[in-house]
Amino acid sequence: MGGIRTTGDLVAWMQLARKMKIAEAKQYVADKLGIEVSTLTDEEEMRRLREELGIGTIISVSGSPKGILAKIRISELLGIPINSVELFKSQLS
């Protein structure tokens, strides 16, 4: 689906975390992002939206969240626990 170029990582998170089939996972992510399912693979739209949300972009924007910080935001956006994020948060506290 294009990974962090579009929303492939987000849909993959839902398949892993909630065992969602592809249609359900896409709809869930689209609803969370407030977009149509057809926009999930629109590079132009997702490039802008991903930077706005701070969830990592395929083009490296200086100072923009990526890696664990982006995953913290993805975890909050999608409402799912992510193992690495939970560990990171526990170490912060």
Partner 1 sequence: MSAKIRTRMGDGELVAMSPSEIREDIAVGTRDAAGKAGIPELTDEEQERLYEIIADPSRIVSVAPGDEVIVTDDGVPGSLYCGQDDSGAGIPMSRGQATLTYERACAADTVSLGHSDYSFKPVKNVISEETNAYYNISMGTTAPFIYGAQPNLGSYYQPDGPVRNPADLLLGGDVKAAQEAQEEAAEKMRQDILFCGRKLNDVGCEGLNLDTSASGGDADFMGTLQVVSELKEEAPGMPVIVGASGEFVLGMHGEVTFNDKQLAGMYPHDQVKVAEEAGVSIYGVAIGTSTNESLAWNVARSVTFTKAAVSAANIPIHVNVGMGVGGVPMCEVPPVDALTRATKSLVELGKADGL
Give contact residues for partner 1 (rule: CB under 8 A): 1-6, 8-9, 11-13, 15-17, 19-22, 25, 37-38, 41, 55-56, 58, 60, 66-68, 70-71, 74, 81-88
Nearer to partner 1, 34 or 90 (CB): 90
Give min distance, CB of 75 to partner 1, in A.
Answer: 11
Give min distance, CB of 49 to partner 1, in A.
Answer: 15
Nearer to partner 1, 5 or 34 (CB): 5
Give min distance, CB of 87 to partner 1, in A.
Answer: 4
The CA-atom distances, in angstroms, between 78 and each of 34, 60, 62, 63, 73 are 12, 22, 25, 23, 8
